[in-house]
Amino acid sequence: MDWRHHRLLLVLVSCIGLAVLAAGGVPTPNAEAQTAPEATIGALQTRVAELKTSVSKRDARIDQLQTRVATLLPSPPATPTTAAPTSATLNGVEIVVTSWEFRATVGAPPIEVTSLRGVFLVVTFDMTNTGGVPQDVPFPGLLVQDENGRTFRQDPQAQAALTITEALTPVTEVQLGARSTQSVVLVFDVPADTTSFAVTTADRAFALPITGP
């Protein structure tokens, strides 16, 4: 090869090199550029797992502390239960319900009386004079009330029929000697669909549940 061919070959090689450089060079793989995002994602996933573990441990610790606090706190005082009264006092007379019953009618022909509201509530009381002087039975002030707060007065006709047919002493004639006890029967006309009653007064001075056999 003469010097002219050698020079031509050098020129061609130079041209090719310049063309390659102008195009940005020959691309070569960049290992760091390819692995950097994967490494970042892996690190973040590891951090997330660590945070989840930390939160779980924290919640467990909180539960332990709350349980501990609960065991150290004193128990709240028990709410006292109020027993239903078994007696009431009106005008110095202690009143106790000894028995009660429902009746559709009271008395007997020809003086039988039928309930207008539904049923008669016949209540037997023990009334004790707690004072040192005789006094009358305080029956006029007694009413019965149901669970809805409705009150019902004594039925005078039913009271009279019961007194006559069962040979009772009229309540208007019952005298309570000093510190003595008398049995008194009173009749109230009440609705048939109500079964819970208490003895009371017009001013609701007390509410004595009607209980008994």
More confident residue, 114 or 36: 114
pLDDT of 213 > 50? The answer is no
Q: Average model confidence (pLDDT) for the chain? A: 79
The strand pairing partners of 103, in sequence order, are 120
Which of the residue ranges 16-20, 159-163, 173-177 has the most confident prediction, judged by mean pLDDT?
159-163
What's the residue count for the chain? 213
> Distance between CA 96 and CA 98 in Å, rounded?
6
pLDDT of 115 > 70? The answer is yes
The structure's pTM equals: 0.61
Q: Using 50, 70 and 90 to split pLDDT, how confident is the model at 195?
A: confident
pLDDT of 29 > 60? The answer is no
> What is the per-residue pLDDT across 46-63, written as a single tens digit (0 to 9) for each?
876 776 677 557 656 765
The greatest distance separating any two alpha carbons of the chain, rounded to the nearest whole angstrom, comes to 164
Identify the structural domains of the chain with CATH numbers, from first to last. Answer: 88-209 (2.60.40.1240)
Number of C-beta neighbours around residue 188 at 10 A: 25
> Distance between CA 194 and CA 144 in Å, rounded?
12
> What is the per-residue pLDDT across 51-103, written as a single tens digit (0 to 9) for each?
667 755 765 676 566 566 656 656 555 555 566 788 999 999 999 999 999 99
Among residues of the chain, what percentage have pLDDT more than 70? 67
> Distance between CA 121 and CA 127 in Å, rounded?
18
